[in-house]
Amino acid sequence: MTTGKLDQLLHLQSEALKLRARRQEVIASNLANADTPHYKAVDFNFAEALRKATGAAGSTGGAPALLKTNPNHIGPDRSTLSTVKLLYRTPTQASVDGNTVEMHIEQANFADNAVRYEASLRFLNGQIKTMLSAIQD
């Protein structure tokens, strides 16, 4: 199996892990600024960011596909961070000081994202273990 095929096999889960880690940072920043006047809570659409990061069909927006005339040419920048577009959250209840962080929502999102990160990590580890056992046998 060539490196290219390994990359293809592991690309989705590795990009998901990067995005989950980035989302955890964003939510942690929201939680840290819960008492900062006029702080606007942000988040991003994980599914859309993953579609863009993996180049999946159906992703909206972004630049058109770039053509390579040689397989050794460097492709377009598909780094995870370049796919994330932070969006402001709309609070369910406005705060007097203009802060839009809602602690219960942020804490729930933080816990949910942590569980999903762990699931992606376990799935990626399972894929690697399967490949290793196939190579060793």
Q: pLDDT tens, 2-21?
A: 567 777 778 888 899 999 99
Strand partners, 87: 43
pLDDT value of residue 78? 52
pLDDT value of residue 64? 46
Sequence-distant (6+) residues with CB within 8 A of 49 are 19, 80, 83, 84, 85
pLDDT value of residue 40? 96
103, 109, 54, 127 alpha-carbon torsion, rounded to 10°:
140
Q: Where are the beta strands (DSSP E) in 5-133?
A: 42-43, 87-88
Round to whole Å and give the CA distance between 75 and 16.
20
Length of the chain: 137
Q: Is the pLDDT reported for residue 117 higher than 60? A: yes
Sequence-distant (6+) residues with CB within 8 A of 32 are none
